[in-house]
Amino acid sequence: MLKETVVSQSLASELSEIGSTSFTEGLSDLSVEEVRSKRDRAVRAENLLSYVRRTLQARIDLLAVSAGHAGNSDRDLTGEVVRALGDHGAHGGGGSARFVEVEIGSDDRALAEEWLNEMTGHDAGVADSLEFLNSVERGISSTRTQLHGVIEVLSAEMVSRYKSGDATVESLLEREERA
């Protein structure tokens, strides 16, 4: 289903490594910096997937509007697109705000968009495309849920280090000053 490319293989490899049980094994044997680095990698991956998922949801909403508009020139397509991408789109729920800030850099944004284009580039009718894109979205959501678990484990380890005195706010501030 996924096109095999360097970008998708690279990101898929990163997600696979972070999602493996070995990624969070032996944390007590690692330095604070190593645990923090692992957590930063997991957060970055989650942010990338969040951006990909949001972009994919917009594509799904636009495709759904297009499918609903086919053969009906009397309806206002522009208004339907605005509604679909606004606060009440198919993925936004009843009245829930859909704006979610996802902090990723321009290089990561380009990587995420390229990966999404590679994953979803597929020739099919609108109904098949909607089904396919919804399936991809469910897979991304599942992976994000797994990443949340990894981030929780790594964050708990960091909290434990701060409570025990193995990590200090001063060392974090020094790290930030060096960066």
Instruction: Render pLDDT for 49-90 as a digit per residue (tens, 0 to 9).
Output: 898 888 888 888 888 877 765 556 555 655 665 665 565 545
- Based on its alpha-carbon atoms, the radius of gyration of the chain, rounded to whole angstroms, reads 20
**25 belongs to a structural domain:** no
**16 belongs to a structural domain:** no
Least confident of 25-39, 69-83, 112-126, 150-164: 69-83
Domain range for residue 67? 31-178
Counting the structural domains of the chain, the total is: 1
**104 belongs to a structural domain:** yes
pTM strictly above 0.75: no
pLDDT at 27 over 50: yes
CB crowding 109-124: b at 16 or more within 10 Å, else e = eebbeebbebbbeeee
**107 belongs to a structural domain:** yes
**80 belongs to a structural domain:** yes
**155 belongs to a structural domain:** yes
Let me know if 132 is exposed, middle or buried by CB neighbors in 10 A (0-12, 13-18, 19+): middle
**2 belongs to a structural domain:** no
CA 26 to each of CA 9, 39, 86, 169: distance values in angstroms, whole numbers, following the listed order = 27, 14, 45, 23
**66 belongs to a structural domain:** yes
